[in-house]
């Protein structure tokens, strides 16, 4: 993803100082060789992993709309990998997303734009529920389809490497709108098609 905008908004000096302070606070020697460049590295890493913050998806790519004559019943992009950071502990959560929509009046979107949207929604401190809902609401805003379905399965490092300390727990979230809410067969079709595609 193009992270130009995210970088521009970062206060690089403040991040570097905060990382130095944090290292000192945990009892590290900030002058030892391995840590000398760490504040700069963390700043670069944060520019990437928080690049979706305070932006519109359109800041990163053009979600241009195409027209097809004969609408497909639905379009699904399956098993889209993503990485995010939980807003409670600033530890990673990551997994897979499935995203589907029912086109309206022949309007479709370039399929690469769906993983781009997942990336945009996950590149900020957040919660799995918020990533799920944001993918659905942004896709709805951009395309005004007849319905959207999003499912995410993810592992949360704050449950695995600390706290409750349970390895390999998968959390599942989903969001259905429009036709996916009213048409049980369509929803079943989505669930059948995406079964085993997210763990
Ligand atoms: N619903 C939801 N909860 C999350 C997500 N990521 C982390 N959490 C949870 O956020 C909660 C924060 O709870 P707190 O009790 O404030 O924090 P804590 O004392 O560190 O909690 P423990 O993790 O249980 O030790 C924890 O239960 C986490 O498991 C997420 O994406 N969605
Ligand atoms: Zn957490």
Domains of the chain: 4-49 (1.10.286.10), 63-194 (3.30.1130.10)
| pLDDT higher than 50, residue 183 | yes
Report the atom number in ligand 1 closest to the C-alpha of 127: 31
For residue 19, report the distance from its CA to the centre of ligand 1, in Å.
23
Query: How are strands ordered across the β-sheet holding 147-156?
Result: 125-126, 75-86, 92-102, 147-156, 171-176
Averaged pLDDT for residues 123-127: 97
Helix (H, G, I), strand (E, B) or coil at 30: coil
| pLDDT higher than 90, residue 77 | yes
- Cβ neighbors of 14 (< 8 A, separation 6 or more) are none
Q: Was 55 annotated as part of a binding site?
A: no
ipTM of the complex: 0.89
Catalytic annotation present for 128: yes
Q: What is the pLDDT of residue 6?
A: 46
For residue 57, report the distance from its CA to the centre of ligand 1, in Å.
27
Ligand nearest to the CA of 154: 1
CA distance 140 to 175: 12
Residue nearest atom 19 in ligand 1 by C-alpha distance? 163
If you average pLDDT over every residue of the chain, what do you get?
A: 94
Catalytic annotation present for 67: no
For residues 138 and 162, the answer to whether their CB atoms sit within 8 Å is: no
For residues 124 and 131, the answer to whether their CB atoms sit within 8 Å is: no
- Cβ neighbors of 93 (< 8 A, separation 6 or more) are 83, 84, 85, 86, 128, 154, 155, 156, 157, 158, 171
Report the atom number in ligand 1 closest to the C-alpha of 163: 25
CA distance 146 to 109: 14
Q: In this structure, how many other beta carbons lie within 10 angstroms of the beta carbon of residue 199? A: 13
Ligand 1 pocket: which residues have CB below 6 Å?
86, 88, 127-129, 156, 158-159, 163-164
Averaged pLDDT for residues 192-197: 87
Ligand nearest to the CA of 164: 1
> How does residue 1 score in pLDDT terms, banded at 50, 70 and 90?
very low
For residue 156, report the distance from its CA to the centre of ligand 2, in Å.
7
Percentage of residues of the chain with pLDDT beyond 70: 94
Residue nearest atom 23 in ligand 1 by C-alpha distance? 163
CA distance 60 to 82: 17
- Cβ neighbors of 11 (< 8 A, separation 6 or more) are none
């Amino acid at each position: 993803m193009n992270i130009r905008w995210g970088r521009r908004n970062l206060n690089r000096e403040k991040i570097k100082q905060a990382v130095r302070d944090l290292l000192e606070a945990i009892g590290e020697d900030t002058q030892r060789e391995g840590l000398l460049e760490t504040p700069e590295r963390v700043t670069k890493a944060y520019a990437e992993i928080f690049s979706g913050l305070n932006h519109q998806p359109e800041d990163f790519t053009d979600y241009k709309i195409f027209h097809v004559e004969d609408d497909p019943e639905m379009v699904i992009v399956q098993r889209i990998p993503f990485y995010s950071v939980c807003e409670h502990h600033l530890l990673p959560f990551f997994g897979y997303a499935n995203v589907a929509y029912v086109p309206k009046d022949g309007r479709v979107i370039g399929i690469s734009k769906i993983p781009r949207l997942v990336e945009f929604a996950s590149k900020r401190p957040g919660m799995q529920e918020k990533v799920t809902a944001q993918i659905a609401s942004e896709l709805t805003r951009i395309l005004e389809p007849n319905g959207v379905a999003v499912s995410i399965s993810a592992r949360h490092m704050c449950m695995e490497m600390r706290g409750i300390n349970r390895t390999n727990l998968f959390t599942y979230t989903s969001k259905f709108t429009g036709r996916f809410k009213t048409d049980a067969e369509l929803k079943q079709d989505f669930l059948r098609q995406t079964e085993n595609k997210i763990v």
